[in-house]
Amino acid sequence: MPSYKAPLKDMEFLLQDVFKTDQLWSSMKATKDTTPDLVSAILIEGAKISETLFAPLNRVGDEIGCEFSNGQVTTPRGFKEAYHTFSAGGWQGLGGNPAYGGQGLPKMLTVMFEEMMWSSNASFALYPSLSNGACLAIDAHASAELKNIYLKKLYAGQWTATMCLTESHAGTDLGLIKTRAEDNKDGSYDVSGTKIFITGGEHDYVENIVHLVLAKIPGSPEGVKGISLFLVPKYRIDENESLGESNGVTCGSIEHKMGIHAASTCVMNFDSAKGYLIGNVNEGLACMFTMMNYERLSIGIQGLGLGEWSYQNALEYAKDRLQGRAASGVAHKDKSADPILVHADVRKTLLSIKANTEAGRAFAAYVAMNLDIAKFSDDEEERKKAAALVQLLTPVAKAYLTDTGFESCVKGQSVFGGHGYIREWGMEQAVRDARIAQIYEGTNAIQAMDLAGRKVVRNKGQYFSVFVDEIEAFILEQSSKSEVSKELNKCIFSLKEVLEVLKETTEWLIEESQNDSNAVGAVATDYLNLFGLTCYAYMWAKMVVVSGDKGSDFCRAKLLTAEFFISRMLPQHLGLKHAICQGSGCMMGMGDELF
């Protein structure tokens, strides 16, 4: 039956060897207390709670799911208690602002714990993830009074939070929302409307739920420029900061979904619910976007975490399952058949997952590092550079980590043959749970449009140059070393090659977009895939640099996996480039009636 062990060794390898966080964190005021001992303790304890508390609830959560009755949501047995243990352990406030009781740890460390949560129980992980997102928006934009009341409770896990954006007719296009907020002229607003797809909108974990709601104040401009953000609690808070009366927030129903069954997905009705403005009037979307870079990375890690989970279980099965004999002859004479791990195709399947998962983990850490530098560095140049990389790479992280994560889950399922299709083995649940990560928090197509359109074309390639400069400096530095191992040499060569392709394609795209308003949409998803491949090639090169002079199994595996990535996966870029440079003609030329 499914099991999970947090990949602590790989996480420590990334933090210590690849990204040298000891130096980085001690160099910045906000992170200087993040000592190696603390890091180690957090990873070990994070692993323990994930492996022993969240993971065992994963199947139960899928089988039982949430139940809805009379406006109440009951989460599957064990989830509520698990959340209490989680919040009592201080995990909800791990990355929170210390001024309000958070622990202020760097994102680069918290992503490691986030991965463990996503791996062990994606449904469970969603509730704290939503609270985190809301806290970021409150911390950045709410009044000191609101922060003081709400952040403390949220970091402590006494309350949870949601983000209420979508309405039934308004998903990607939030300009269409109909929820209204009337100014009470007493510092509060009356919020009315219906939101759908609200994760954790109603549940039985805690006594209060804090909703961040996008709504329009009557008289505001049309479209996205007339949207404001409001904090709307389920129960009002009285003068003593304790729970007051019910606030006109009710759950109308919950959705029946493909996966993440233990995460409640609610239709939320707001009926003259008292709400408080967060940020300025009509700047609601901007306030939401404050936290987007953090949240989108986290959702990316949902894909990564489930891919890791799938790998671990597929590998176990490949070692246990006896079918057929090795192509080169019997490998295990004492057994009725050889374990399927002897077969090249099974190894290829596993290596594909491993190569994407390890590069993905490195890439998530890399983006998180840039989030930290952008927020905490004392050096303005460094902050600006990191902020540019965060802007550029966030859509790649969200989409590419979830696309490769989903693919990893599908591949892991394949290793099980027919058993992979049976629920009790858990492999099909991973596929279902991973699928949503490609869809929510902005679909991956929207991420691709964000990358190709906003972050590359409209930015005229400035962010992109920062990225290219960094990689080229890296290549130069490595190539000019007196001794370069043949593995590193191959990595650097391939990285250079794919980077050139990405540069050419980017130039083509910026140029083409001058004359064709559909160019971005026509190539965005392929362009994002090419971008993701390049990022992963960069990550593999960075990992190979610090694996070369070590003789351990761990480092040998890194070198061989890098080689697999380069020779068997990276060549996709050849087809992508060719497809991208065809432009939009063949899809825009097709009349609607011809589809």
Q: Binding its own copies by CB under 8 A: which of 21, 131, 444, 447?
A: 444
Which position among 202, 407, 441, 563 bears the catalytic label?
Answer: 441
Question: Minimum distance between the CB of residue 276 and its own copies, rounded to whole angstroms?
Answer: 27
Question: Using CB under 8 A as the criterion, what x/- string covers residues 510-529 for binding its own copies?
Answer: -------xx-xxx-xxx---
Question: Minimum distance between the CB of residue 302 and its own copies, rounded to whole angstroms?
Answer: 13
Chain Cα centroid distance, residue 411: 20
**Strands 208-216 and 159-164: what pairing?**
parallel
* Cβ closest to its own copies, residue 74 vs residue 443: 443
- SS3 annotation, 163-200: EECCECCECCCHHHCCCEEEECCCCCEEEEEEEEEEEC
Specify which residues 73 forms β-bridges with.
Answer: 68
Q: Binding its own copies by CB under 8 A: which of 32, 77, 169, 225?
A: 169
Q: Binding its own copies by CB under 8 A: which of 390, 436, 495, 541?
A: 436
Q: Binding its own copies by CB under 8 A: which of 357, 438, 505, 506?
A: 438
178-207: contacts with its own copies (CB under 8 A): 197
Task: Print burial letters for 346-359: b (CB count within 10 Å at least 16), e (below 16).
Answer: beebbbbbbbbbbb
- How many CB atoms are located within 10 Å of the residue 438 CB? 21
13-42: contacts with its own copies (CB under 8 A): none
CA distance 83 to 385: 38
* Cβ closest to its own copies, residue 186 vs residue 222: 222
Q: Does 64 bind its own copies (CB under 8 A)?
A: no
370-389: contacts with its own copies (CB under 8 A): none
Q: Binding its own copies by CB under 8 A: which of 449, 475, 530, 545?
A: 449
CA distance 9 to 17: 11
Q: Binding its own copies by CB under 8 A: which of 170, 466, 468, 546?
A: 170
248-277: contacts with its own copies (CB under 8 A): 255-259
Question: Minimum distance between the CB of residue 472 and its own copies, rounded to whole angstroms?
Answer: 24
Choices 66-74, 120-128, 230-238, 418-426 (CB under 8 A): range interacting with its own copies: 418-426
Question: Minimum distance between the CB of residue 404 and its own copies, rounded to whole angstroms?
Answer: 14
In this structure, what token pair is assigned to residue 307?
């891919």
Q: Does 420 bind its own copies (CB under 8 A)?
A: yes
3-state secondary structure of 464: helix
**Strands 208-216 and 235-237: what pairing?**
unpaired
Question: Minimum distance between the CB of residue 176 and its own copies, rounded to whole angstroms?
Answer: 6
In this structure, what token pair is assigned to residue 77?
């047995």
Question: Using CB under 8 A as the criterion, what x/- string covers residues 536-555 for binding its own copies?
Answer: -----------------x--
Q: Does 567 bind its own copies (CB under 8 A)?
A: yes
Q: Does 221 bind its own copies (CB under 8 A)?
A: no
* Backbone dihedral region for residue 324 (phi beyond 0: left; psi -120 to 50: alpha; all else: beta): left
Question: Minimum distance between the CB of residue 414 and its own copies, rounded to whole angstroms?
Answer: 7
> Could you confirm whether 441 is annotated as catalytic?
yes
Question: Minimum distance between the CB of residue 451 and its own copies, rounded to whole angstroms?
Answer: 12
467-496: contacts with its own copies (CB under 8 A): none
CA distance 323 to 346: 12
Question: Minimum distance between the CB of residue 324 and its own copies, rounded to whole angstroms?
Answer: 5
Q: Where are the beta strands (DSSP E) in 33-183?
A: 67-69, 72-74, 159-164, 180-183
* Cβ closest to its own copies, residue 34 vs residue 438: 438
Q: Are 528 and 443 in contact (CB under 8 A)?
A: no
* Cβ closest to its own copies, residue 30 vs residue 588: 588
In whole angstroms, how large is the CA radius of gyration of the chain? Answer: 24
- SS3 annotation, 489-523: HHHHHHHHHHHHHHHHHHHHHHHHHHHCCCHHHHH
How many residues bind its own copies, per CB under 8 A?
A: 97
Phi, psi torsion values for 251, nearest 5 degrees: -95, 120
* Cβ closest to its own copies, residue 222 vs residue 381: 222
Question: Minimum distance between the CB of residue 9 and its own copies, rounded to whole angstroms?
Answer: 13
Q: Does 68 bind its own copies (CB under 8 A)?
A: no
Sign of CA dihedral 462, 466, 469, 471: negative
* Cβ closest to its own copies, residue 187 vs residue 417: 417
Q: Binding its own copies by CB under 8 A: which of 439, 466, 468, 484?
A: 439
In this structure, what token pair is assigned to residue 316?
């176990």
* Cβ closest to its own copies, residue 259 vs residue 395: 259
CA distance 394 to 195: 26
Which of 98, 94, 119, 117 minimizes the C-alpha distance to 107?
Answer: 94
Specify which residues 199 forms β-bridges with.
Answer: 265
* Cβ closest to its own copies, residue 289 vs residue 421: 421
Question: Using CB under 8 A as the criterion, what x/- string covers residues 299-328 for binding its own copies?
Answer: ----------------x---x--xxx--xx
Q: Are 311 and 350 in contact (CB under 8 A)?
A: yes
Alpha carbon of 477 to those of 365, 397, 483, 498: distances in Å? Answer: 22, 26, 12, 18
In this structure, what token pair is assigned to residue 157?
């896990």
* Cβ closest to its own copies, residue 246 vs residue 572: 572
* Cβ closest to its own copies, residue 166 vs residue 282: 166
- Using CA atoms in the order 53, 308, 292, 538, what is the torsion angle rounded to 10 degrees? 150
Which of 209, 234, 224 minimizes the C-alpha distance to 284?
Answer: 224
CA distance 199 to 84: 19
Q: Binding its own copies by CB under 8 A: which of 36, 90, 171, 244?
A: 171
In this structure, what token pair is assigned to residue 38?
């603390």
CA distance 76 to 58: 10
Question: Using CB under 8 A as the criterion, what x/- string covers residues 328-367 for binding its own copies?
Answer: xx------xx---x-xxxxxxxxx--x-------------
Choices 47-55, 123-131, 393-401, 586-594 (CB under 8 A): range interacting with its own copies: 586-594
In this structure, what token pair is assigned to residue 221?
């401009």
Q: Does 78 bind its own copies (CB under 8 A)?
A: no
* Cβ closest to its own copies, residue 71 vs residue 585: 585
In this structure, what token pair is assigned to residue 525?
């998803």
Catalytic residues: 441
